[in-house]
Amino acid sequence: MTIGIILILLGVSAIVTGIVFIRKDKVSTIAKTEEFKADVLIKEIPEAKTDKQKGDDFEKYVVQKFSKNYFSILEWTGDKYVNGSYSQSNTHPDLALKFKFKDIDTDFAVECKYRSDYYKNGVEWCTSRQLENYRNYAKEKSRTVFVVIGVGGEATAPEELYIIPLSAISETLLSKTFLNRYRKENFKESNMFYDYEQGNLK
């Protein structure tokens, strides 16, 4: 009788121990599964790009629109600064380009601006101070400046593109009506074209 009770108790003990181990294993498996799901979820969500990164991406997009057969980059400014100290070139347009075709050899500058969407039915493309800086640059360098504005889509693939001579701009906020005069059609399939006779970028 005593041996039977002992065997029963041992059996119950073994069952309880088994249940505890099974529960621990299940909890551990669930925890690992949740950790894996969370890790995958974090990796799947891309980090939002900063305005600086978008600006850099758009500059690269614009640069690729200039055929190397006719255009070469003279300057490509970088917006580097620390504690209010920055290079004078940071106040210049993003690009200075040389155009060569037959006996034509001239240069001009391009300021690139990307906006995710329109603001107040237009585009606020710069500050008053920046506008003044670009005008001073054009005067000091005797160099024509164009403003290339991309709107919508991604900085690497905008939905709209406008090319405006700086000399035609008097405001920091450009309305859609104004922008439409300088819309570049079929820009996704075509490169930039410099009309050297008119001194105009298209």
- Convert the pLDDT of each residue in 101-123 to its tens digit: 999 999 999 999 999 999 999 99
pTM reported for the whole predicted model: 0.74
Q: Looking at residue 144, what is its pLDDT? A: 97
What is the rounded CA–CA span in Å between residue 15 and residue 77?
74
What is the rounded CA–CA span in Å between residue 117 and residue 12?
71
Does the pLDDT of residue 11 top 60, yes or no?
no
% pLDDT > 70, the chain: 71
Give tens-digit pLDDT for 161-178. 999 999 999 999 999 999
Mention the CATH class of domain 51-201: alpha beta
Q: Looking at residue 6, what is its pLDDT? A: 54
| Average pLDDT taken over every residue of the chain | 83
Give CA angle at 172 (66, 139), nearest 5°.
Answer: 65
